[in-house]
Structure 1
Amino acid sequence: MEISPYLCAMNEKRWIRKPELTPEQQQAANDLMQSIYVDRFLATLLAQRNIKNFESAKDFFRPELSQLHDPFLMQDMSVAVERLSQAMAQGEKILIYGDYDVDGTTSVALFYGFLRKIYDKLDYYIPDRYAEGYGVSWQSIDWAQEHGFSLIVTLDCGIKSVDKVTEARHRGIDFIICDHHRPGADLPPAVAVLDPKREDCLYPYKELTGCGVGFKLLHAFCLHNGHDLEPLLNHLDLLVVSIAADIVPITGENRVLAYFGLQRLNTTPCVGVKALIQVAGFSSALDITNVVFGLGPRINAAGRIKHAREAVRLLLCDDEQDAQDFALEINKHNLSRRTFDSTMTEEALAMIQNDTWLADAKSTVLFKEDWHKGVIGIVASRCIEHFHRPTIILTQSNGKAAGSARSVPGFDVYEAIEECAELLEQFGGHTFAAGLTLPVENVDAFRQKFEEIVSSRILPEQLIPRIEVDLELELSAISPKFYKVMRQMAPFGPGNMTPVFATHGVHVAGRPTIMKEKHIKFEVFQGDSPPYTAVGFGMAHLYPDLMSGKPFSICYCVEENNFRGKQSLQLYLKDVKF
């Protein structure tokens, strides 16, 4: 079979250098060199992040909770607080309803965990991923009515549940919606709809997680009722897990919440999170990346393999032994998830490689009726690692084709799916990730139309993986002081990524070492600079070129290596070009 040019391009990576500083940014960088005593490279990194002067640098390096916005700036917040307060004053039964992913389960654990200390007529509900699907379900409304609940607070879902909320109103059940997904044309007829992405919402920060919106409601509730904020702030460990796992920008308010959330996570996490950290095997301080790849998948695994209520039960646990038992059980689910993930990814890649049309397409839409619904999103991401293009993985669930979509930088997969709305029964999500449901008989037509839309809109360069390079760096500029200042720019994540550098005209010192037949490690120097250890995972194939003696360019992050108590700086390679 002829190999697709897009597949060939996967061996290439585009190094996209950030634009040169504007005159205003350059002036800011010059001022920062003088006011906070950093070199021109660090000053440039800060200016790129819109740090303009001493005061903004202070806010950036030393966030304070006072930087959080007034929660009452959010549309409908006053109404939401009044209704929640009224329900508690009148002794109504309140149901806390959350989605089954990490954002949803941490939302419920935070909201319920806080309220239960001051109110006892409440319960929580997580829909079954397979029997009920995403969002507010008909089953949940029946359950709420049967058990006498008159107020439901949704977290990380509900913004598109117009029909369900309407029916609930007819049954005497009110809703407060806390969501962060894009609203549809009509808002649900809830008592209050809290969503920064509402067109009529003037809240200054639009990128909160579902857990973040729930936190803001409780923040407002505390202010309105004169409650101490400290018990609420004790739950910031859960909030940072939602921020990390939902891959939202770590800018503005999210950055403040993540900063203090990580402090909490690394000092006094709740009993359930502490048990999760232990089963994940972490022994040093956690950062956003550790949460994304270590804690997030384990919390998610409960809902993917069994039921997400188990994850909430762990996060709410007060007994250390019970928490250990729950965490070990969830860890088993995660091991099962990995097995499904690996098998399905192999099947998906084979389907693409063995089909000429699929291999040459600019999008991927795959359907297999027996794939595990709980890991289709993960498999979509895995496919993008091999075929860099918008991807949708579908499986059969309750007689329908249910799928998860993932995208590549710069392409809005939600808008592309929206263009296919006539073929779908339900869809929702973000620019880079979405979920959808459609009749099985529509899958082929959907695949064709989605491909037509993607082909007409996606740019050729978006089909090639990109590495965003912050700046070109001289190796001699790397020092313990340089790293110490750079490390204080954390927490890193979308909107404030770990700085990536490019250095040209470097040479190998000595002979590279192959590790586990896949990875490579070698010393590298530039001109008169001292040698630095560079590590390239999955780059063992570079050995012959490295041994040629030719100069080359490297693209990398600077990291600290701790080995047998000895600390040293090393370069974590992202790409090499000869």
Structure 2
Amino acid sequence: MEYNWKIRKKANEERVEALSSEINVNPTLANILVNRGVDTFQKAKDFFRPDLDKLHDPFLMKDMDKAVNRLKSAIENEEKIMVYGDYDVDGTTSVALFYGFLKQFYDQVSFYIPDRYKEGYGISDKGIQFAADNNFKLIVALDCGIKAIEKVAFATELGVDFIICDHHTPGEEIPKAIAVLDPKRKDCSYPYQELSGCGVGFKLIQAYSEFTGMDPAGLIGFLDLLAISIAADIVPITGENRILTFYGLERINNNPRPGIRALILASKIEKEIEISDIVFKIGPRINASGRIEHAKASVELLIAKDLEDALRRAALVEDVNATRKNFDENITKEALSMIRKMDETKQFKSTVLFKEDWHKGVIGIVASRCIEEFYRPTIILTESNNKATGSARSVYDFDIYEAISECSDLLEQFGGHKYAAGLTLSVDNVVAFQEKFEQVVCSRIETIHMMPVMEIDDEILLDQINYKFYNILKQMAPFGPGNPEPIFCANDVYAENVKVLKDKHLRFNIVQDGQQTRPTCIAFGLADKLKYEDDTYFKMLNGKMRFNIAFDIRENTFRNTSSLQLYVKDIKFD
């Protein structure tokens, strides 16, 4: 896929020079920091040295006092409490965190995850009825509920109270629950809006601990779950999330709970866990149960008390994940074939596909796979409970949630974010929705949205690449949205010692005039493109033609010898 390179503008020169001097880093690194809002000594200190004491006061969140008082009242009166969460990673980690916290000192608590296929997303009538029938007086809903106006009213009629902990964008009306915790509420002045659903749940247990005089150190054991939720839900790793992720990763790498340890073993990760390992290995395994069978299995794994039990549960999750991969692969092939046939008659600017027998659990993954091949806003729909239900994924800087909102007259339910959303509609409305969504996208989308963007932090010379430079880069982790791993470009270089690895990957050194450093580059998957799809292009690389290269910098250790390598993101010949 061809990328549009977007090199960030240079930050204010005086500010860069001042920061470079204040924290003793070179101007290139100072420029990156200033561009990310780290433009003073104090901000740099907070950035490089995250501190749990810098977490915001949870009582700054709207309704937090009401939530804590209702929770305390339920416990004092020995009421049954239901911990209710969504079936994705954020939801299941939220439930494991909140249930695990209460279970330490309170027995009258159970958890409930809705069935993706029988109940659908969010709070369900079935879940509420189950609570009422089994004498639960309080439901704490995590990672869902912000638009559950009618569901909360139904629960109130049955004598069941709600505390909602959500992080999705509210509608015009807020549910009439006992407390609605959501930093995105317009009337909420909480200083940080980008918490995950699990993060909002964590703020509630933080507030409860403070209010009741519990030892705050007891909360550290839940940060592994919180880091996984932040990484897997693709929320910004900035501000408060950066602090929580930093210490959550520390917990995962040094003292993970048995369930997470079992997932690491199942994933065959034999190095320090990074955000990318959670996104691509651990998260999908937690997600698999909810996609294919029932997410209750993932919660049971995450709250397992010993490694033996966790390993047994992780093996079951691994089997389900293998099934998920098979569904994913087959449906993706079918979807791509449908898109190619569509494009034979018209060049669309959006993709909306519907097939009644596609597996609901993998349609979000399929939407992302389709974007990798056909770069445009994509919605994949299937039939569930006599409705068309779907997952939407977007492209660079295009707000798919707003585009779907313009089609709300054809929908029964929708929700989500700028880059990902879910929706439900009548099967009879699918064709009309396809047509209207295409019209909306055509009216909103701009040229910049139609090609994937490679955001490059700065152009550098090869002699800048050394261990002093790399060691400071490494301290900028954890990387993720809002704080991506820095990508650099080097211009007017040529390749030497080009080798093809496993018929898929390339390894070569690059040379730049006037520079002594000739770093090794690894280009995963690029051999297929350069060698087999376009032999001329491969000859250009192998024939020492000049090109520009985009890359990030990593350390490679082989036979106890470490060296820096460039991981190639893209190559552009003149």
Q: Is the TM value for this pair above 0.5?
A: yes
Cα distance in 1 for residues equivalent to 2:308 and 2:508: 45
Structure 1 counterpart of 2:506: 520
Secondary structure of 1:434 counterpart = strand
Cα distance in 1 for residues equivalent to 2:236 and 2:116: 26
CA deviation profile, 1:144-176 (whole Å, cap 9, x unmatched): 011100100000001111111001001110000
Cα distance in 2 for residues equivalent to 1:172 and 1:417: 35
Q: CA deviation at 1:537?
A: 1.7
Report the more deviating stretch, 38-47 or 164-173.
38-47
Cα distance in 2 for residues equivalent to 1:57 and 1:424: 46
Structure 2 counterpart of 1:8: none
Residues 496 and 542 of structure 2 are in contact (CA less than 8 Å); yes or no, is this contact kept in structure 1?
no
Q: CA deviation at 1:35?
A: 2.1
Structure 2 counterpart of 1:176: 163
Structure 1 counterpart of 2:451: 464
Query: Are 1:559 and 2:549 matched, yes or no?
Result: no
Q: CA deviation at 1:356?
A: 2.9
Q: CA deviation at 1:518?
A: 2.2
Residues 496 and 544 of structure 2 are in contact (CA less than 8 Å); yes or no, is this contact kept in structure 1?
no
Secondary structure of 2:132 counterpart = helix
Query: Are 1:107 and 2:97 matched, yes or no?
Result: no
Matches within 5 A, 1:19-58: 19-22=9-12, 26-58=13-45
Structure 1 counterpart of 2:291: 304
CA deviation profile, 1:380-436 (whole Å, cap 9, x unmatched): 000111111110000111111110000012111111111111111111111110001
CA deviation profile, 1:230-277 (whole Å, cap 9, x unmatched): 222211000000000000000000000000000001000111111111
Please, which of 17, 35, 49 is the counterpart of residue 7 of structure 2?
17
Query: Are 1:350 and 2:337 matched, yes or no?
Result: yes
Q: CA deviation at 1:461?
A: 1.7
Query: Are 1:419 and 2:406 matched, yes or no?
Result: yes
Structure 2 counterpart of 1:5: none
Amino acid at match of 2:556: N
Amino acid at match of 2:403: A
Q: CA deviation at 1:517?
A: 1.9
Residues 179 and 194 of structure 1 are in contact (CA less than 8 Å); yes or no, is this contact kept in structure 2?
yes
Cα distance in 2 for residues equivalent to 1:32 and 1:552: 33
- TM norm structure 2: 0.97
Amino acid at match of 1:516: K
Please, which of 490, 493, 497 is the counterpart of residue 503 of structure 1?
490
Structure 2 counterpart of 1:195: 182
Query: Are 1:367 and 2:357 matched, yes or no?
Result: no
Secondary structure of 1:157 counterpart = coil
Matches within 5 A, 1:65-144: 65-144=52-131
Please, which of 541, 544, 547 is the counterpart of residue 539 of structure 2?
544
Residues 352 and 358 of structure 1 are in contact (CA less than 8 Å); yes or no, is this contact kept in structure 2?
no
Secondary structure of 1:235 counterpart = helix
Amino acid at match of 1:13: Y
CA distance 1:569–1:358, shift in 2 (3 Å): farther
Q: CA deviation at 1:99?
A: 0.1
- The 4+ residue runs of structure 1 with deviation greater than 6 A are none
Q: CA deviation at 1:355?
A: 1.9
Q: CA deviation at 1:359?
A: 5.9
CA distance 1:291–1:358, shift in 2 (3 Å): farther
Please, which of 276, 284, 287 is the counterpart of residue 289 of structure 1?
276
Structure 1 counterpart of 2:234: 247
Q: CA deviation at 1:54?
A: 2.2
Residues 461 and 490 of structure 2 are in contact (CA less than 8 Å); yes or no, is this contact kept in structure 1?
yes
Structure 2 counterpart of 1:391: 378
Amino acid at match of 1:69: H
Q: CA deviation at 1:357?
A: 6.3
CA distance 1:359–1:122, shift in 2 (3 Å): farther
Q: CA deviation at 1:358?
A: 7.4
Please, which of 133, 136, 145 is the counterpart of residue 132 of structure 2?
145
Report the more deviating stretch, 483-492 or 564-573.
564-573
Amino acid at match of 1:467: M
Q: CA deviation at 1:529?
A: 2.4
Cα distance in 2 for residues equivalent to 1:192 and 1:212: 16
Structure 2: 5+ residue runs without aligned partners?
531-536
Secondary structure of 2:136 counterpart = coil
Cα distance in 2 for residues equivalent to 1:88 and 1:356: 59
Please, which of 195, 208, 215 is the counterpart of residue 221 of structure 1?
208
- TM norm structure 1: 0.96
CA deviation profile, 1:338-363 (whole Å, cap 9, x unmatched): 11111111111100111236761100
Amino acid at match of 1:117: Q
Query: Are 1:316 and 2:303 matched, yes or no?
Result: yes
Query: Are 1:474 and 2:488 matched, yes or no?
Result: no
Q: Percent identity?
A: 54
Cα distance in 1 for residues equivalent to 2:204 and 2:316: 32
CA deviation profile, 1:168-208 (whole Å, cap 9, x unmatched): 00111000000000111211110000000100000010000
Amino acid at match of 2:248: G
Amino acid at match of 1:18: R
Amino acid at match of 1:228: D
CA deviation profile, 1:503-524 (whole Å, cap 9, x unmatched): 10111123x1112222211111
Cα distance in 1 for residues equivalent to 2:324 and 2:501: 28
Amino acid at match of 1:397: S
CA deviation profile, 1:279-312 (whole Å, cap 9, x unmatched): 1101111011111111000000011111000000
Cα distance in 2 for residues equivalent to 1:233 and 1:177: 23
Structure 1 counterpart of 2:432: 445
Cα distance in 1 for residues equivalent to 2:27 and 2:294: 52
Secondary structure of 1:360 counterpart = coil
Q: CA deviation at 1:13?
A: 1.0
CA deviation profile, 1:456-483 (whole Å, cap 9, x unmatched): 0000121101100100011110001110
Secondary structure of 1:577 counterpart = strand
Secondary structure of 1:481 counterpart = helix
Residues 407 and 432 of structure 1 are in contact (CA less than 8 Å); yes or no, is this contact kept in structure 2?
yes
Structure 2 counterpart of 1:325: 312
CA deviation profile, 1:12-41 (whole Å, cap 9, x unmatched): 21000112213xxx2222122222221111
Secondary structure of 2:361 counterpart = helix
The number of residues matched between the two structures is 564
